[in-house]
Every structure is written in structure tokens, then in C-alpha cells.
Structure 1
């Protein structure tokens, strides 16, 4: 999937709200984005989709008991020092996009979020999801790219 980096004030506001949100909200948003992008272009996938590093991370996540997967993903988002977090931090932006894309579109039940987490949105999640629902595919891909890019690296550059 070829991505276009869009810079707009509205996307910047949305991405700022994303990073200010709870880890649970961030998981809901990443899942939503990956599924919506998948529905918009069923045949297009990130170039890193078949990365061995991404596949190994997904396998490690699936080795965890189902009830621990959500916590492991939140730890990745918070940067808690774990084996999975370290592996995730070694991924480049395209591989991180592929990681979330593959998790959200996995055929395995509840590999990313339980069905309840996808339907019982809190106000924080509803605000972000309502905003993202109005976006076109390029804006969604740009948002996903910014959401998985290491913020500290961006600030230094």
C-alpha cells in the first residue's frame, strides 16, 4: 500500500487527541483504522505485510493467553519494557502499520480486541471514531502512520 503523508490542521488535532487518549482508546482506534483501511481497499496491503519480524511478533502475541493479549498491547503502547515492547520498538513505521493491520484483520477470534471493546465505546473513543469516520482513505492511512510513528524520534528530527 502506498501512503501519502497529508498534513492538515484537522489531522494534527486528531492525532494529538489520539496520543492524549488512554491506551484502551488507542487500541480501539488502531483496530478501527486497520479494519476500515482493509475494507476500503481489500487487495492493497502495506508493503511490510509479509515481514518476518511482524509475523514473529504476532506469533508471540498469540502464544499469550487470550485474556493477556489486551494488556500486552497496552504495554506496547505505553512503552513498558517487555519482550514484545522491545520487538515492537525495533519495527520501522511500515512494519508497525502492518502489525496493527494484520492484528485487526486476523481471522483468529479476538486477537486484537474483544467484540465488546469494539461496540461499547466510551466518550473519548466515540469522539475520535466520529472524527475518523468522516476521513477519506488517504487521511486514514496518514493518521495510522502518525499514530504508530515514534513520537520522540519525530521531535528530535
Structure 2
């Protein structure tokens, strides 16, 4: 069952990618304190993720933080080398943090898995955004149409934070 508001973020091993580099961590360590916007994408460098979803959060990072967000974290089922390269290419000012969920453990624990096996990509995160406060999920927004960024994008998250 997909994670729902009121549930805690699970603790699974991940790679935490920041401007300082890559570190072993747990999802609870990265997402468990403060107000966190966590958005998940099917893949680094894939068209919608690279050209629409991630850039929207990079562009809105200052506004999200002004609205009370402590950290913005992007999660993807890719290895940490790919995620590090994507972060460097897409967010040179290091406004965001990234979770490389190479084995898809976090995606499975959150039940936010999308099967893209037919396209050669395997199991990936669904396109989603979550608002998390002190490790407890407050809001979950899952996209219903592949390739679309509406309710999981930065503008929708900003609107929600301001309401």
C-alpha cells in the first residue's frame, strides 16, 4: 500500500548525494528531520525528469525554502555515480539534495514503484512528491499520467505550502 499521510518514513540504506559528495546513509537520516520536500522521478537524465520535473524544483528552491521548507530532496532508482553526474549537471548551485536508491529498496518500502520493464528500465520510482515533517509524511502527490508533471511539480507543492 502506498505510503499515506501520518505514516513515518521508513529507514532503508541509500546513497545521499549532495554538493559535498556521496555518502552512505539511511532514508530516515536524510528525510527524518525538519520540513522536507521529497520528490521522486523515474530516472536521472530521462526526458521529463531532466527537462521538466527537476528543473522546476531547482528554479523554485529559494521560494520553497522561504515558505518553510528546510530541504528539498530528489529520489531516483539509479546508481550514485549517475545521480552525482545528474546533480552536478542540473543543480550546479547545490540547492537540492539527492537520494540514489540504486536497488529500489526505498521505492518498494514506500510502495511508489513503477514498472518500466517493457521500456528496458526495470522497476523505478513513480513520479511523486511528498511533504514530510519531522519524519512523518504529511502529503503524498502521485502523478496519474506518464510523462506529466502537474500535482508532483514544484508549483503544486508551493501552492500547497502557501494554502
Q: TM-score, normalising length from structure 2?
A: 0.26
Richer in helix (by share)? 1
| Greater strand proportion | 2
* Larger relative contact order, structure 1 or 2 (CA cutoff 8 Å, min sep 6): 1
TM-score, normalising length from structure 1? 0.26
